[in-house]
Chain A
């Protein structure tokens, strides 16, 4: 069974390459390196959170509050720097810490009070976006316009390019990916995450403090959402409470498409990373091919359903071939 995951990554890789080839043939501008690299800006927030929600899902939980933590941390960064006059980089740290605290709150309830993860993070989702709106109200900024006027240095955080070529979002994508990869696949902590997800009781009996492990994955997921909130604020040059509101489904899409089982115990960040790029390029490619944005959800939905059918249903392939084989043999009978 373990063999299945790397094989899935291979499928994703092939999908990605064929996307690049096909969309390039449709619109040659797709092969423009700058276009491809710049498109990372549009899904970097989703990717950063998805890496660490992958951890959460491997432990058997789920975190749907990531999107609203983005809005909250964006507002925290905006208010503390623009309204209260805190140094922008301190404000960035503060915002990420706030994201981590939101995650901690989720994690404590889920691991120690044993409330269902879905219930807690659903509550968290509403709570955090509510707090964000209240904060905006208190600060006196209008909910419609957001807080702007950030320094150029901060704007460059997301909009700049390393050596003038590599957009910061690509660098960040790689760095966060490497951190997540090492944590999950190269450390004892990562192994414990898998063990917790496979069988929490067995892990507990073998001396793993599963409650700590579970809590820590939510903290990581909260911190990553905080980072995503800061990056999005920098990218758009304005802090708003509604940022990230529509990220819930894209985050889960990336994880599920990446081959992580929603029931826990199996998966990895390589798949999540590839899936983020696949969905990102799919959007870009379809838009450049002239498809209207409102229909792109349709394509992503199809991709997800087909891939999950392949991945999730046991013996899907053999079933399909049996089905085809049956047809063939029946045909043969008719002929006879």
Chain B
């Protein structure tokens, strides 16, 4: 009997607390409708969301983001979960909305899985920017893009061609990246093939292999490419798992850059040993610290109440002037004035000379 009384009492307390909370809610809710352009820098909080934590690429992005925040004076909260799943990212977006953040800058794990959560964030007046990996352009203002398929596809081919004595001669070329379904890498390769057909029509594409983003699978695939095509001249790997695995496979077989040209995209930390040993001559990537810095700056810029329309340009401290380009440069159909793409001003080709200047 006494117990049930205690229960009633406690239930009563909970209800009372919740009622009180409900009374409070209006006050708390009002913080979400942001004024126009009147906010102090230090009042603005940007939540910077990686695909997952504990990955060197995203941690470097965060280093750039934090440095930018410190310089300009706004706040950046780095918030990600160790497992990069849709449900985790949705929860992080929700908590950003709940805790009253002003903007989020996210590298999405899914093109469409975050739609509902992002819509709620937009409804709450939060600015949404994507970086590294995009969402449906309807649900964000700007995508901080490492490069369009055109830029990156051309870069891949040029890095390989630059190493050939006679790039116009016939060459055997192989592609090796993560999977036939991954959207960004496929779009680069598609453009690169177009570019090869125009500029180096004698090149022959002998095979296209996939490593599924798995280190062990990639190493096996890399070795099988070398076994199956002993006369191969160029192997291009636009994937951060495939490229080191391919270089390792060549090293295991005692091959170096004079025997076969291997190039592609991966972070300098993962490739430095192969460059220094001469297994490969060069490889490329964008500066992800710059990308993180630019992403949070654009998010901050929007949160201040500034509009960002296609064609506008923004002066970003340290990085210079960037321009908002239409979504069509990435191949999207969706065109709206307030949704666009900002391409990173530059990408880097890493060689023996400069690889030690970068740490990411």
| A residues in contact (CB < 8 Å) with B | 6, 10, 13-14, 16-17, 20-21, 24, 27-29, 31-36, 38-39, 41-42, 45, 142-146, 148, 155, 159, 232, 235-238, 240, 242-246, 283-284, 287-288, 290, 292-294, 297
* Complex-state Cα separation, A205 to B21, whole angstroms: 53
Asked if B80 is an interface residue, CB under 8 A from chain A, the answer is yes
Instruction: Tell me which residues across on chain B come within 8 A of A16, comparing CB atoms.
Output: 14
CB distance from B187 to the nearest CB of A (A): 13
Whether B79 pairs with A292 at a CB distance below 8 angstroms is yes
CB distance from A50 to the nearest CB of B (A): 16
Whether A39 pairs with B80 at a CB distance below 8 angstroms is no
Whether A29 pairs with B112 at a CB distance below 8 angstroms is no
CB distance from A180 to the nearest CB of B (A): 19
**Which residue of B has the minimal Cβ distance to A286?**
B95
Whether B115 pairs with A237 at a CB distance below 8 angstroms is yes
Q: Mark B21-43, 1 if CB is under 8 A from A, else 0.
A: 11011011101000000000000
Asked if B182 is an interface residue, CB under 8 A from chain A, the answer is yes
29 A-B pairs whose Cβ atoms sit less than 8 Å apart in the complex: A10-B6, A13-B14, A14-B10, A29-B28, A31-B20, A31-B25, A32-B29, A33-B25, A34-B25, A34-B29, A39-B94, A39-B98, A144-B181, A144-B182, A146-B86, A232-B87, A235-B90, A236-B113, A236-B117, A237-B113, A246-B83, A246-B87, A287-B98, A288-B99, A292-B78, A292-B79, A292-B80, A293-B92, A297-B82
Top-3 shortest CB links A-B:
A287-B95, A142-B181, A31-B21
| B residues in contact (CB < 8 Å) with A | 3, 6, 10, 13-14, 17-18, 20-22, 24-25, 27-29, 31, 53-54, 77-83, 85-88, 90-92, 94-95, 98-100, 110-117, 179, 181-183
Instruction: Tell me which residues across on chain A come within 8 A of B22, comparing CB atoms.
Output: 33
Whether A17 pairs with B13 at a CB distance below 8 angstroms is yes
Whether A31 pairs with B24 at a CB distance below 8 angstroms is yes
Whether B112 pairs with A237 at a CB distance below 8 angstroms is yes
Instruction: Tell me which residues across on chain A come within 8 A of B99, comparing CB atoms.
Output: 27, 29, 287-288, 290
CB distance from A123 to the nearest CB of B (A): 22
* Complex-state Cα separation, A243 to B83, whole angstroms: 12
* Complex-state Cα separation, A232 to B28, whole angstroms: 28
Whether B95 pairs with A36 at a CB distance below 8 angstroms is no
Q: When the two chains form the complex, which single residue of A6, A232, A240, A284 contacts B95, counting CB atoms closer than 8 Å? A: A284
CB distance from A161 to the nearest CB of B (A): 12
Whether A294 pairs with B113 at a CB distance below 8 angstroms is no
How would you classify the secondary structure of chain B's contact residues: helix, strand, loop or mixed?
helix
Instruction: Tell me which residues across on chain A come within 8 A of B3, comparing CB atoms.
Output: 6
Q: When the two chains form the complex, which single residue of B80, B86, B181, B182 contacts A243, counting CB atoms closer than 8 Å? A: B86
CB distance from A292 to the nearest CB of B (A): 5
Instruction: Tell me which residues across on chain B come within 8 A of A148, comparing CB atoms.
Output: 112-113, 115
* Complex-state Cα separation, A280 to B70, whole angstroms: 32
**Which residue of A has the minimal Cβ distance to B136?**
A148
CB distance from B213 to the nearest CB of A (A): 10
Instruction: Tell me which residues across on chain B come within 8 A of A236, comparing CB atoms.
Output: 86-87, 90, 113-114, 116-117
Instruction: Tell me which residues across on chain B come within 8 A of A292, comparing CB atoms.
Output: 53, 77-80
Whether B98 pairs with A246 at a CB distance below 8 angstroms is no
Are A29 and B31 CB-contacts (below 8 A) given A34-B25, A287-B79? yes
Instruction: Tell me which residues across on chain A come within 8 A of B24, comparing CB atoms.
Output: 28, 31-32
With A10-B6, A145-B112, A294-B53 given, name 11 new contacts (CB 8 A). Answer: A27-B99, A29-B99, A31-B25, A32-B28, A34-B29, A144-B179, A237-B116, A292-B53, A294-B54, A294-B81, A294-B82
Instruction: Tell me which residues across on chain B come within 8 A of A235, comparing CB atoms.
Output: 90, 116
Whether B92 pairs with A145 at a CB distance below 8 angstroms is no
